[in-house]
């Protein structure tokens, strides 16, 4: 049994989708990051970086309980545990992993900063907004080109698509219409149509408010973006 500690963010939805795709038994435990539950001592014991998601597999390596954090590592672990969505042949395996790393090192950080400065920053900083929006455009162009050659990010549907989709689908929050990205739109529609993706995106969805800068309380803003992040817990 997988115990998943999560919240309905793009990184959380990666694991929700993956667990639905693989059919592994799991129980989800909500970690409300707006209320500071990511700083709970138990959660920190399995996720020392105080970020969701994290998980505990009661039947881990050698049959022992095993905990893991970092969503990319978790996707690889679950793919190997289930024998699904990550090829074993070296060439295709590394092709999938490179696009997974593309999400972890590029899409996640850049899209996240763009979202922050457009939707959450207490003041509009044109340089920051333009800097990260332009980087989002660059990354969308990379995906558009790749998806002109492949049906999915690395050929067949894989953990690379699962990692990228929850970030790429929120294009409206980055003020990037899809008119210039027909291949990306085709891919987004194809991934969204998968039954496991639809189920995964609904996990904990009722627990999160659709907030922007104006919808956050001072306490929530402090927990998410303030000095609380930098205190020792």
Per-residue pLDDT reduced to its tens digit, 111-148: 999 989 988 888 999 999 999 999 999 999 999 999 99
Strand ranges across the sheet with 26-30: 26-30, 2-6, 54-57, 66-69
Question: Do 156 and 102 share a structural domain?
Answer: yes
Give residue 210's pLDDT.
55
Mean pLDDT by 10 residues, the chain (233 residues): 97 98 98 95 97 98 97 98 98 98 97 91 93 94 97 98 95 75 96 98 85 70 83 76
Give the predicted TM-score (pTM) of the model.
0.94
Q: Does 108 share its domain with 188?
A: yes
Q: For residues 7 and 11, what is the distance between their CA atoms, to the nearest angstrom?
A: 8
Lookup: tokens for 76? 């690889």
Residue 211's domain is classified under what CATH number?
3.40.30.10
Q: Are residues 22 and 112 in the same domain?
A: no
Whether residue 95 sits in one domain with residue 188:
yes
**Domain ranges, residue 224:** 2-84+199-230
Q: What is the pLDDT of residue 174?
A: 63
Q: Which residues contact 141 (CB under 8 A, 6 or more apart)?
A: none
* Tally of structural domains, the chain: 2
* pLDDT, position 162: 98
């Amino acid at each position: 049994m997988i115990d998943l500690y999560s919240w309905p963010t793009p990184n959380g939805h990666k694991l929700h989708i993956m667990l639905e795709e693989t059919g592994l038994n799991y129980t989800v435990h909500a970690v409300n990051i707006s209320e500071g539950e990511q700083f709970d001592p138990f959660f920190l014991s399995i996720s020392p970086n105080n970020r969701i998601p994290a998980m505990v597999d009661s039947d881990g390596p050698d049959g022992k309980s095993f905990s893991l954090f970092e969503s990319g590592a978790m996707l690889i672990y679950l793919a190997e545990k289930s024998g699904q969505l990550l090829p074993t042949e070296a060439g295709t395996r590394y092709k999938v992993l490179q696009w997974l790393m593309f999400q972890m090192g590029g899409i996640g950080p850049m899209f996240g900063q763009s979202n922050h400065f457009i939707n959450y920053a207490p003041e509009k900083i044109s340089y920051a907004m333009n800097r990260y929006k332009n980087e989002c455009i660059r990354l969308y162009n990379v995906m558009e080109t790749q998806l002109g050659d492949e049906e999915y990010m690395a050929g067949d549907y894989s953990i690379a698509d699962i990692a990228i989709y929850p970030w790429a689908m929120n294009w409206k929050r980055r003020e990037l219409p899809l008119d210039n990205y027909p291949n990306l739109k085709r891919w987004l529609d194809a991934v969204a149509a998968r039954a496991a993706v639809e189920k995964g995106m609904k996990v904990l969805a009722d627990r999160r408010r659709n907030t922007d800068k104006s919808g956050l309380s001072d306490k929530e803003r402090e927990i998410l973006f303030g000095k609380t992040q930098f205190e020792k817990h």
